[in-house]
Structure 1
Amino acid sequence: MDAVDVPGSMRLVMPGNVRALDPAPAMFDAMLAGWTRQQQSRLLARKTIADRMSLLRRFALFNGTYPWEWTPEDVEAYFSAQMSGPLPLAHSTVRGQQSDLRLFCTFVTDARYGWAAACMEEFGRAPVQVCHDWNTADHVADYEGRPGRRALTYDELQALFDAADERVDSIRRRGRKGVLSAWRDAVLLKAVYAYGTRRRETAMLDLHDLRHNPRAKAYGRFGALEVRFGKASRGSPPKRRTVLTVPEMDWIVPLLTEWTAEVRTGFGVGGHPALWVTERCGRISLRRLDEVFSLVRDLAGLPDELELHCLRHTYITHLIEFGYPERFVQDQVGHRYAATTAMYTWVSDEYRNRLLEDSIRRRAERAGTRVGRGAR
């Protein structure tokens, strides 16, 4: 099959009338540039592309070879080294990197792009697929996240919120600066739990994302939360969803009312649209969100492996325990598949025992009904 002018093809990247003084690195750079173009045409995020380019350069540097020289043994050596260091990569990270490496090899070996023919002509060797079933990790588990990333227990959640409130009182008692910031942090953590938002979703919220819900007029403008920067699929814009304020979380309404009407204005942000603002009158950063959770978590004496995203896990778990249908929970948190919601759900022993007791009671009632009918 002849190469054609498709995004990422060799003809569009390498000038036909110029020969590089050092052809090997020039060919490698051109391959990376071609794959970048091909991924851009698929509307992949810049960070996704940059991460893949970085991986390929690290892989080439580790093995001291170029793509047309790569072998399956190189894959095994590289990832064996990544897993044997003091900080081994997570299983999901390894699988993701192997998948990226496989995609690159598929790209450069596709005859439509012309890279294999160009390498054969220049170096006498063509790139091959080096990632196979026997040297890459299988996706055998539904959930590959870190075991420590879990839902908080009710006691841990209460301890976290108490520590956040105590931090505000402590700063106020000592007459130190930072009362408004600590106040913001306390409300922010509670809001993350009350709506189950992800980190970026939280940071990108604006004031006008607070919405009325005609079916819950008592909540005013806090009856729903419009999430406009939900987690995107590859090549697609951020997903949008509306998270309804559930009755079990309605304690967040007076907190958000106080924050938006009184506390937030103390930052002097003027017309800035962000819901969560900083002392410098800007939008709170993702890094600051992590720092806030870590600080309050340590004050509460909770395990170090817990992180901000655990509040989202807790929200999902508690909605299930409150008896909400799985489809409702799925829509609230923006999961495309119900199986994803199930992965993130840890249901407490109390809830399971309650379901068991209800099942036993219903079975006993049915048995009693059958006995009664037989007697008649």
Structure 2
Amino acid sequence: MLRPGNVSALRPAEQMFDEMLAGWAGQQSSRLLASRTIQTRESQVRRFADFCASSPWEWGAADVEEWTSELLSGTRPLTPSTIRAYQNSVALFCAYLIDGRYGWADQCMELFGTHPIQVCHEWNTAVHVADHEARPAVRPLTRGEVQALFDHADDHVDFARTSKRKGWLTLFRDATLFKVIYGYGLRRREAAMLDLHDFTRNPKALEFGRYGVCNVRWGKASRGSQPRRRAVLTVFDWTRPVVEEYVEEVLPRFGLADPAVLWPTERQGRIRLAHIDDRFADWRDQLALDRVLHPHCLRHSYVTHLIEDGFDPLFVQQQVGHRWGSTTALYTGVSGDYRNRVLRNALDNAFTSPPDDGSEQP
């Protein structure tokens, strides 16, 4: 929003920048972008401004290049996808500022004698050319590793419970949470935001009872849109007793004011994503698994194991909410035994002669 001409600003540069960001937020809200997307973009633009130590009408293309070099340096350089997201936020903000329909350039010329420019261009920003940019060491867990993780979690629960130690409820909650992440191929946020009523019956699979379908309401959004929804069908026979035991025997002990929350904290809130990461890292390290593995690897494991078990790839794609089969394929890391069985079957079918029935070939 532009200030009236008869109002003087005490800190004109700082206040102008705040007004620009507020106007940009309003523009994005008008496009129905998610508030989380808007807030993330604003924080990224502010981070760029802090690096430049200057105002948007003073930024130049060289600032983007120096900033990117800093993001790539240090002991923990950012990933290409993260850097591209940062650059995209700055580019979108600059595009908003130089749009004549909003009047920011004229206002800056009047107050500061210069105006914003587009500082991001095709020669100083990252281009998305690869479908998959994850670290090569990040992989699906093997079936044995998944089972070891679950057994290890259960051992922690049993020890804390039998020794009457404080915290066994949260340990039970976390152990069940990881089983649900794997059992339904969920992302962290999808799992953390689940409510009890998100589980419903599947009339075609009554053996799963009220846990035949997991209705995901907080799926990954696309281009800042609202979260995507999908229904994930239960496929593992162990899922029902695991969730039932937690819901009926453990969840009521939290004494929730809102009984719908599936993964509560002891302070009546929802479990944090950072806690999921930390708990997984603790149990992963105690099992001496690869340190690059993280909770999302359980989702990769779900895809891989369903494919190995013979589920149709289209079914698996719909279960995990991928728009394209190529994305699901990138998640898949089938074992050597599975590939060798497929190869052996193909070779046998191709080169094994059919039985001779005595008829002459034409």
TM-score where L is the length of structure 2: 0.91
1:203-252 deviation line (CA, Å, top 9, x unaligned): 22222222111111112112111112222234433222111111xx2112
Matched residues in 2 for 1:23 and 1:183: separation?
55
TM-aligned CA deviation for residue 30 of structure 1: 2.4
- The equivalent of 1:327 in structure 2 is 314
What percentage of residue pairs aligned between the two structures are identical?
Answer: 53
Q: Which residue in 2 is equivalent to 1:8?
A: none
CA 1:13 to 1:345, structure 2 compared with 1: closer, same or farther past 3 Å? farther
Structure 2 counterpart of 1:363, from 346, 350, 353: 350
Give the match for residue 288 of structure 1.
275
Which residue in 2 is equivalent to 1:197?
Answer: 186
Tell me the equivalent position of 1:3.
none
Given that 2:37 and 2:224 are in contact with CA atoms closer than 8 Å, whether structure 1 keeps it comes out as no
Which residue is 1:89 aligned to?
Answer: 78
Aligned partners of 2:223, 2:253: CA distance in 1, in Å? 40
Residue in 1 aligned with 2:144?
Answer: 155
Which one of 4, 15, 30 corresponds to residue 4 of structure 2? 15
Distance 2:275 2:348 in 1: 50
Deviates more, 1:186-195 or 1:56-65: 56-65
Residue 269 of structure 2 corresponds to residue 297 of structure 1:
no
Mapped to 2, the partners of 1:243 and 1:138 lie a distance apart of 33
2:263 is the alignment partner of 1:276 = yes
Computed over aligned residues only, the root mean square deviation of the Cα atoms, in angstroms, reads: 2.4
> What is aligned with 1:123?
112
More moved, 275-284 vs 194-203: 275-284
Distance of 1:111 and 1:90 partners within structure 2: 34
Aligned partner of 2:339 in structure 1 is 352
Any conservation in 1 of the 2:45–2:86 contact (CA below 8 Å)? no
Is 1:36 aligned to 2:25, yes or no?
yes
Residues 333 and 131 of structure 1, relative CA distance in 2, 3 Å threshold: same
SS for the counterpart of 1:112 is: coil
Partner SS, residue 319 of structure 1: helix
Q: Which residue of 1 aligns with 2:169?
A: 180
Residue of structure 2 in register with 1:308 after alignment: 295
Q: Letter of the 2:36 partner, please give it.
A: K
Which whole-Å CA distance do the structure 1 matches of 2:198 and 2:222 have between them? 22
Residue 163 of structure 1: how far off its partner (Å)? 0.7
Residue 106 of structure 1 aligns with which residue? Answer: 95
Paired amino acid for 1:169: D
The whole-number CA distance in structure 2 between the counterparts of 1:63 and 1:359 is: 60
Letter in 2 for 1:228: R
For residues 162-184 of structure 1, give each alpha carbon's deviation from its aligned partner in whole angstroms, at most 9, with x where no partner exists. Answer: 11121122223434233333223
Contact 1:52 1:100 in 2 (8 A): yes
User: Could you tell me how far apart the structure 2 residues matched to 1:38 and 1:373 are?
Assistant: 77
Q: Deviations over 1:104-163 (max 9, x none)?
A: 111111122222233234333332211111111121211123334321112211211111
Of 180, 203, 206, which aligns to 1:214?
203
- 1:23/1:138 Cα in 2 relative to 1: closer, same or farther (>3 Å)? same
For 2:190 and 2:87, locate their aligned partners in 1 and report how far apart those are by CA, in whole Å.
29
Aligned residue for 1:57?
46
- Contact persistence 1:92–1:145 (CA under 8 A): no
Does the 8 Å CA contact 2:97/2:104 hold for their aligned counterparts?
Answer: yes
Secondary structure at 1:13's aligned position in 2?
coil
Cα deviation, residue 195, structure 1: 0.6
Q: C-alpha separation between the residues in 2 aligned to 1:349 and 1:337?
A: 25
Question: Is 1:272–1:282's contact at 8 Å kept on the other side of the alignment?
Answer: no
Q: Which residue of 2 aligns with 1:5?
A: none
1:22 deviates by 4.6
Q: Within 2, Cα distance between the matches of 1:83 and 1:364?
A: 53
SS at match of 1:111: coil
Q: Is the 8 A contact 2:34 2:226 kept in 1?
A: no
Q: For residues 142 and 265 of structure 1, what CA distance do their matches in structure 2 show?
A: 44
Give TM-score scaled by structure 1 length.
0.88
Change (3 A) 1:64 1:374: farther
Spell out, residue by residue over 1:306-327, the C-alpha distance to the aligned partner (whole angstroms, 9 max, x if none): 1111111111111121222222
CA gap of 1:263–1:20, structure 2 versus 1, over 3 A, is: closer
